[in-house]
Structure 1
Amino acid sequence: MNITVIGTGYVGLVTGACLAELGNKVFCLDVDRNKIEILNSGGVPIYEPGLKEIIARNRASGRLIFSTDVAASVAHGEVQFIAVGTPPDEDGSADLQYVVAAARNIGRHMERNCIVVDKSTVPVGTGEKVKAAIRAELEARGRGELDAMIVSNPEFLKEGAAVEDFMRPDRIVIGVEEGAAGAEAREVMRELYAPLNRNHERILYMDVKSAEFTKYAANAMLATRISFMNELANLADRLGVDIEHVRKGIGSDPRIGFSFLYAGTGYGGSCFPKDVQALARTASEHGQELEILGSVESVNDKQKQVLLKKIVARLGEDLSGKTFAVWGLAFKPNTDDMRAAPSRVIVRELLQRGAKVQVYDPVAMEEARHAFALDLADLPGKEADLHYAGGAMEALEGADAVVIVTEWKSFKSPDFAAVKAALKEPLVFDGRNLFEPVTMARLGVEYHAIGRPSKRPK
């Protein structure tokens, strides 16, 4: 099948590459010439395990094309995926300008009926706006006999496991219009996803609005679980309870399960923060306040300060003369995504309090440089106190403590003898609960985690 994917951001690039891997001929469009040049020269602008190899393989086979040519992209695809960004507007609502612009471009250039798939995360009712934008352009051209069939096919890709999630989905949500047009679109989408649907039926068919709502509801539920566990962890700190024991106790109940029950420094990334805000804004526009979601967001904002509060409680408000190693900068492992990452809050606060900071992340160092340059623009001179280490052990050299913010696998079993030798004193602030407090005390390490009793070495 000939497929066009509009947008080569995270969702678009993974979608386009994986559809090409399934044997389709995919045309990936982006208006960012620099990004297209990177992709055509063999580079990949994001880090995602396995993605670079899939792109290289399918570019070489001719099944994957990257271009800025809008007219050619519309001419190519019998199915047009819109996978552009929907960043939060000033009021928290999703900004649909890029989605609508993509729809207008389709309407300006289409010469046959086609299926237009909203892959971007969009509010309820966006499908109608996309159809109206295309219809307006067709009417302006005098081509009102043409039609675009609208489908909502939200993505459920976890950063760091996106290729696996696409190729082995737990569900494929497809929202179609009513009537003959919807039936035709449903059949085409069934054929497109047939290679992923052979083991058992994974496709959930519904109306367009329900599909749009499903994506927001899923992310809001997951964000709620994270904030709920973080609140319990903060209470556990006061009660002397180990939140890890609690997590195992409640997670073993099949009605609850273990996913997204890990206490930590709060969620970040491009999805949960903006989707929680957008859903709350949608509710407000329709006269309903989502009180739980308001609390979810508030708890998450506060949680990014919890690790810092533990540092201040142990070492004081004035951290002048102190040096901290920070392990992990991306908002989660197996990605270089720094959007809304807790590390950005922690590093800024440490620097503001007079500390020097030595940071390391296995893949996000370049993205971190850009992020911290923005974060510290209003703090003249502070960037000089931020050092980008070449490795985890280098970051520890001469530090008063290590602060663990992202749970990369390479951090989970370090040489603690070497860690102790590199640090001025064996002091660990663990925002991801990677280690057992009793074990750390036995090793002679003072250990502070999230919702776990602190253990000082005997």
Structure 2
Amino acid sequence: MRSHVPSRIAVVGTGYVGLGTAGLLAHLGYRVTGIDIDPDKIAQLQRGVVPIHEPGLDLLLASQEDRITWTTDYQAVAEADVIFICVGTPPGPDGTPDLRYVTGAARSIAAYLGDRPQVIVNKSTVPIGTGDFLQRLLEDHAPQFDETRHRVASNPEFLREGTALADSLYPDRIVLGGHPEAVEVLARLYGPLIEQSFTAPQGIGRPDSYSRPAVVRTTLQSAEMIKYAANAFLALKISFANEIAGLCERVGADIQEVTTGIGLDGRIGHRFLQAGLGWGGSCFGKDTQGLISAGREHAYPMPILQAAIDVNYRQRNVVVEKLLRHLKSLKGKRIAVLGMAFKPNTDDLRDAPAHDLIARLHQLGATVLAHDPVAMPRAEREWSHLTYTAAPDPATALRRADAAIIATEWEEYALLNWRDLVGTMRQPLVVDARNMLRETLPAQVEQIGRESVQVQKEAVLV
């Protein structure tokens, strides 16, 4: 394989990663074909309808519609210089990542590999060693496979839902793993991104302090491990903050003052030290469990990572315990849950803490009213097994409620007129599980890692 400048790209999978990748590469000037086996999703995209909620993504894709084609036909692989695999890897019952979608995509790609240089790039989060597995899979199923022409590479994504486009356009680092020739092809592909020579898209301006990303060239195995280790470490930071928060409540300390103080240490930093309801979504839990599963395969226990998971899911019980402490029993009580998505600025419900809260509240006999600015239509489809009433707005959810839980830190909730709204509740009890309320209210306010009764002031940096 000679290093060449790629021009045509195929992206397999049209979820958060696939759509973001397609939009990014089209904006950099490449011809992109998005492939998905779901005809309904492809039909939506062909009509210009984006099937997920990600701020700015619809505008970016619309601006590049002349460069992007959507199809269910893998034939597009034959003309592609680089093929990105961006499919899901959900956890199995024992925490081991399920590779059925990756395997299926690889087999479909194999049938159309041609007699020209092509790089097959895994952007899906996969167990260490999957790149080698895919290389063997292509050898077995591609009629024209040639290891000098067809290389598998790893290029993990580090996107945060809600800020995925900015994370894609202005990344901290770009990790490229694989054979040096394949890595060089990807480095050329990402040239405009590395050099930041592209024009920033409307609404996603380049930060003033941003210069260019670091580029990490490494092996397949190291690239795969970097992705897992990064997410596991971030999950560990959040769980650490939550564990410290529990002790803060018991000794009279304030977690926000504590994390402000320790975060000023440059070795620690403030990011991902926010105490609250814990993490959710499709990455942290799955990737942390994936590392634990990999350790199990090699008879190598990973107790620190297991503790991070245990602490995280304990936080969901902490919120219910706070309700019980004040209400004594939840039978017949009306509880408002504000926020259903696992984080703001997305409609993603995977492993959302609100799911477990709603289930537990119903189990304890409560009537639940739930609201979310964008995720309620998706919840109607994906959470049909839960018992709750969808509230059209926060005010409706709070009216005559015995308690309210802020489960997702949507800005919309911070801007509510809480002083008036708590007056409409049967009992003015608010469990602010995201520590986002700043004003003193005529209500009993419980936060995480802080004294109850009133919302205190944040630590002030002098």
CA distance in 2, matches of 1:281, 1:53: 39
Give the letter for the 1:291 counterpart.
P
CA distance in 1, matches of 2:363, 2:382: 16
Give the letter for the 1:196 counterpart.
L
Structure 1 residues 353 and 200: alpha-carbon distance in aligned structure 2, compared to 1, 3 A threshold? closer
1:14-48: per-residue Cα shift (whole Å, max 9, x none)?
11111111111100000111111111112111100
Contact 2:33 2:71 in 1 (8 A): yes
Aligned residue number for residue 429 of structure 1 = 431
Q: Which runs of 5+ in 1 are unaligned?
A: 377-382
CA distance in 2, matches of 1:121, 1:30: 18
Give the letter for the 2:138 counterpart.
I
Deviation at 1:203, TM superposition (A): 1.2
CA distance in 2, matches of 1:363, 1:201: 32
Aligned residue number for residue 29 of structure 2 = 23
Aligned residue number for residue 442 of structure 2 = 444
> Are 2:99 and 1:101 equivalent residues in the alignment?
no
> Are 2:94 and 1:91 equivalent residues in the alignment?
yes
> Are 2:323 and 1:320 equivalent residues in the alignment?
no
> Are 2:124 and 1:120 equivalent residues in the alignment?
yes
195-204 or 5-14, larger mean C-alpha shift: 195-204
Contact 2:244 2:255 in 1 (8 A): yes
> Are 2:221 and 1:221 equivalent residues in the alignment?
no
Contact 1:265 1:305 in 2 (8 A): no
Q: Which of 206, 211, 220 is the matching residue for 2:218?
A: 206
- 1:189 counterpart SS class: helix
CA distance in 2, matches of 1:143, 1:129: 15
- 2:109 counterpart SS class: helix
Contact 1:152 1:176 in 2 (8 A): yes
Aligned residue number for residue 301 of structure 1 = 313
1:385-439: per-residue Cα shift (whole Å, max 9, x none)?
x221111112111212221010011111321232123212322111001124xx4
Aligned residue number for residue 280 of structure 1 = 292
Aligned residue number for residue 414 of structure 2 = 412
Contact 1:111 1:146 in 2 (8 A): no
Measured on the aligned residues, the alpha-carbon RMSD in Å equals 1.5
Deviation at 1:13, TM superposition (A): 1.1
Give the letter for the 1:387 counterpart.
T
1:39-91: per-residue Cα shift (whole Å, max 9, x none)?
111211110000011111212xx2011100012x2123110001111111222
Structure 1 residues 144 and 162: alpha-carbon distance in aligned structure 2, compared to 1, 3 A threshold? closer
What TM-score results when the alignment is normalised by the length of structure 1?
0.92
What TM-score results when the alignment is normalised by the length of structure 2?
0.91
Q: Which of 163, 179, 188 is the matching residue for 1:161?
A: 163
Give the letter for the 2:125 counterpart.
T
> Are 2:259 and 1:253 equivalent residues in the alignment?
no
- 2:185 counterpart SS class: helix
Aligned residue number for residue 67 of structure 1 = 71
299-308 or 99-108, larger mean C-alpha shift: 99-108
Structure 1 residues 144 and 38: alpha-carbon distance in aligned structure 2, compared to 1, 3 A threshold? same
Deviation at 1:99, TM superposition (A): 1.2
CA distance in 2, matches of 1:159, 1:143: 36
Aligned residue number for residue 341 of structure 2 = 330
Give the letter for the 2:339 counterpart.
G
CA distance in 2, matches of 1:143, 1:444: 70
Contact 1:226 1:263 in 2 (8 A): yes
1:360-402: per-residue Cα shift (whole Å, max 9, x none)?
111111122233313x3xxxxxx3xx22111111211121222
Structure 1 residues 3 and 417: alpha-carbon distance in aligned structure 2, compared to 1, 3 A threshold? same
CA distance in 2, matches of 1:153, 1:342: 29
Contact 1:100 1:129 in 2 (8 A): no
Q: Which of 196, 219, 231 is the matching residue for 2:243?
A: 231
Deviation at 1:187, TM superposition (A): 2.4
Give the letter for the 1:258 counterpart.
H
Give the letter for the 2:450 counterpart.
R
CA distance in 2, matches of 1:234, 1:70: 52
Structure 1 residues 236 and 145: alpha-carbon distance in aligned structure 2, compared to 1, 3 A threshold? closer
CA distance in 1, matches of 2:281, 2:330: 28
Structure 1 residues 142 and 79: alpha-carbon distance in aligned structure 2, compared to 1, 3 A threshold? closer
Contact 1:419 1:426 in 2 (8 A): no
1:339-363: per-residue Cα shift (whole Å, max 9, x none)?
1111011111111122111111111
CA distance in 2, matches of 1:149, 1:15: 20
Contact 2:170 2:213 in 1 (8 A): no
CA distance in 2, matches of 1:13, 1:66: 11
- 1:85 counterpart SS class: coil
CA distance in 1, matches of 2:399, 2:291: 45
Contact 1:396 1:423 in 2 (8 A): yes
- 1:151 counterpart SS class: strand
Contact 1:27 1:66 in 2 (8 A): yes
Give the letter for the 2:356 counterpart.
V
Aligned residue number for residue 400 of structure 1 = 402
Structure 1 residues 215 and 291: alpha-carbon distance in aligned structure 2, compared to 1, 3 A threshold? same
Aligned residue number for residue 201 of structure 2 = none
Give the letter for the 2:443 counterpart.
V
Aligned residue number for residue 453 of structure 1 = 451
CA distance in 1, matches of 2:56, 2:144: 45
CA distance in 1, matches of 2:147, 2:258: 61
CA distance in 2, matches of 1:11, 1:432: 27
Deviation at 1:201, TM superposition (A): 5.0
CA distance in 1, matches of 2:146, 2:61: 37
Deviation at 1:145, TM superposition (A): 7.5
264-273 or 104-113, larger mean C-alpha shift: 104-113
- 1:281 counterpart SS class: helix
Q: Which runs of 5+ in 2 are unaligned?
A: 1-6, 196-210, 456-462
CA distance in 2, matches of 1:289, 1:202: 32
Deviation at 1:456, TM superposition (A): 5.6
- 1:4 counterpart SS class: strand
Q: Which has the higher helix share?
A: 1
Structure 1 residues 286 and 117: alpha-carbon distance in aligned structure 2, compared to 1, 3 A threshold? same
Contact 2:252 2:451 in 1 (8 A): yes
Aligned residue number for residue 379 of structure 1 = none
Aligned residue number for residue 33 of structure 1 = 39
The sequence identity of aligned pairs, in percent, is 44
Contact 1:232 1:243 in 2 (8 A): yes
CA distance in 1, matches of 2:81, 2:231: 30
Aligned residue number for residue 3 of structure 1 = 9
